[in-house]
Amino acid sequence: MRVAILASGRGSNFQSIIDASNKNKLPNCNIVLLIVNKKEAYAVERAKKHNIAYKIIESKNKKREDFDHQILEVLAKNKIEIVVLAGFMRILSKHFITKYKNRIINIHPSLLPKYKGLNTHQRAIENKDKYSGCTVHFVNAKLDSGKIILQKKVNILK
C-alpha cells in the first residue's frame, strides 16, 4: 500500500514506522511520502536520510479547509492509499476524513478514550495515574474517537 505520513515535529513516530518497515514488520507498507505542516519540522531530515519524498505545506494562518485541500491534492498526485498521522498537530476537516474514510490512522499518546486531545502526559501525571500508554486508531469526525486498532500500556514511574 502507498502510505503517506503526516507529521509536525521531530518525527520520532515517523522514524519508528520507517524502522519497522525496514525490518519487514509492516508487510505491504510502502512509505512514499512525508508531509509536514511546519517548515522547521525535523521529520524532513529523517525523510531525506531515508530517501523518502517530502512536502512542506505550512498550516500557519490558513483555514483548515484550504490547508486540507492542498494536502489532498498532493495525496492524489502520489496515489496515496493510507494516511498515517504521526505526531501531526492539526485537526483534519470533515471533507478530508470523508475522502479517506477508514484509511486514516492516528498514533495518539494515551490509552483512549482517556485523555483525548493535547497534553496527555501532563494530564496523566496530574491525575496521579499509575499507567498510561499509546493508542493507534482510525480517524473519524470526532476527535480521538475512531475505532481502536491497538493499544499498549506503560507504567508511569515516579
Set 95, 108, 121, 137: catalytic member: 108
- The Cα–Cα gap between 152 and 71 comes to 30
Q: What Cα–Cα distance (Å) separates residue 81 from each residue in 76, 89, 110?
A: 9, 21, 26
- Is the distance from CB of 111 to CB of 125 less than 8 angstroms? no
Half-sphere exposure of 75 (CA within 13 A, CB side): 23
Q: In the annotation, is 108 catalytic?
A: yes
User: Any residues with CB less than 8 A from the CB of 90 and at least 6 apart, and which?
Assistant: 6, 8, 37, 59, 64, 67
Beta bridge mates, 56: 36
- The Cα–Cα gap between 127 and 136 comes to 23
Residues belonging to the active site: 108
